[in-house]
Amino acid sequence: MIKAIVYKSETGFTKEYAEMLSNKLDIPCYTLEEAKKNLNKQDEIVYLGWICAGIIKGVNKVRNRYKVKCYGAVGAFPKDNKYVDSLVKSNALEKEKLFYLRGGINFGKLKGYKKFIVKIVGNVLEKNDKGKEGSEELIRLFNEGASFVDSKNLDEMIDYIKK
Ligand SMILES: Cc1cc2nc3c(=O)[nH]c(=O)nc-3n(C[C@H](O)[C@H](O)[C@H](O)COP(=O)(O)O)c2cc1C
C-alpha cells in the first residue's frame, strides 16, 4: 500500500502535482525532508522530482530508502517519447516506471545561477530556433515563464498506481 507521495520542488510546480496526486489518491504528500520524519525505510511511495539539466532531483535519496512504485519527472519541455527515454537513461531508471509531467518556468521564484541558466537557454532558443515550427511557445516560456501544470497530465500515472 502506498504510504505517501514524496517530492522535491524548487519553484512550486512539482509541489502542485504532488498535492493534486495526494488529493486524488487520498494519501499524504511530503517533501524529502518531511518524509524522513514521517515514513519508515522501505515504505511504499510515489516520488516526484523536478528536472535540472536532465537529472531528476532527489531520485538517489529515495531509490534505496523507500520502495518506489513509480517516479514522476517535472520539467519545462513538452512531453515527447524520445525525451522521456533520455530521462530514463540519464537517471538510471531502466528498471523503474517513469512518468513525465510538464511543469513550467517561474522567474519570480528562480534565483542566482538557476535563473541565469534558464535565461541562457531562452537566448539560445531564440538565436537557433526562432521562426521554426512550434518554437514560439518554448521561446516565450524560457523568456517570460508560464505554467503547463494540468491535472489531466496525472491521469496515466493514476491509472498505473490504481492498477
Ligand atoms: C537550472 C535549471 C535546469 C533545468 N533543466 C531542465 C531540463 O534539463 N529539462 C527540463 O525539462 N526542464 C529543465 N528545467 C526546468 C524545470 O525542470 C521546470 O521549471 C520545473 O517545472 C521546475 O519544477 P519545480 O517548480 O517543482 O521546481 C530546468 C530549470 C532550471 C532552473
Residues 6 or more apart whose CB falls under 8 angstroms from that of 89 comprise none
152 shares its domain with 85: yes
Task: Return the H-helix or E-strand segment holding 5.
Answer: strand 2-8
Count up the domains in the chain and report the number: 2
pLDDT at 134: 82
Tens digits of pLDDT across the chain (163 residues): 999 999 999 999 999 999 999 999 999 999 999 999 999 999 999 999 999 999 999 999 999 999 999 999 999 999 999 999 999 999 999 999 999 999 999 999 999 999 999 999 999 999 999 999 889 999 999 999 999 999 999 999 999 999 8
Assign residue 32 the CATH number of its domain. 3.40.50.360
| CA of 73 relative to ligand 1 center, distance in Å | 10
d(CA 100, CA 121): 20
Residue nearest to atom 3 of ligand 1 (CA): 52
Same domain, residue pair 85 and 127 = no
93 and 127 fall within a common domain: no
**Where in the sequence is the domain holding 132, given as residue range(s)?**
107-146
Residues 83 and 13 in one domain: yes
50 shares its domain with 120: no
| Nearest residue to 105 (alpha-carbon basis) of 84, 75, 80, 134 | 75
In a shared domain, residues 95 and 112? no
For residues 152 and 141, membership in a common domain is answered with: no
- Alpha-carbon gap, residue 35 to 151, rounded angstroms: 23
Do 34 and 92 share a domain, yes or no?
Answer: yes
46 contacts 69 by C-beta, under 8 angstroms: yes
**Based on the domain organization, do 58 and 125 belong to the same domain?**
no
Residue 71 CA to residue 93 CA, distance in Å, equals 9
Ligand 1 pocket, residue 74 CB under 6 Å: yes
Query: Do 68 and 98 fall into the same domain?
Result: yes
Query: Are 62 and 96 in the same domain?
Result: yes
Distance from residue 50's CA to the centre of ligand 1 (Å): 6
**Ligand 1 centroid distance, CA of 1 (Å):** 30
> C-alpha distances in angstroms, 51 versus 2, 55, 83, 128, 149?
23, 5, 12, 23, 14
Are 58 and 127 members of one domain?
no
pLDDT at residue number 63: 96
Residue 142's pLDDT is 95
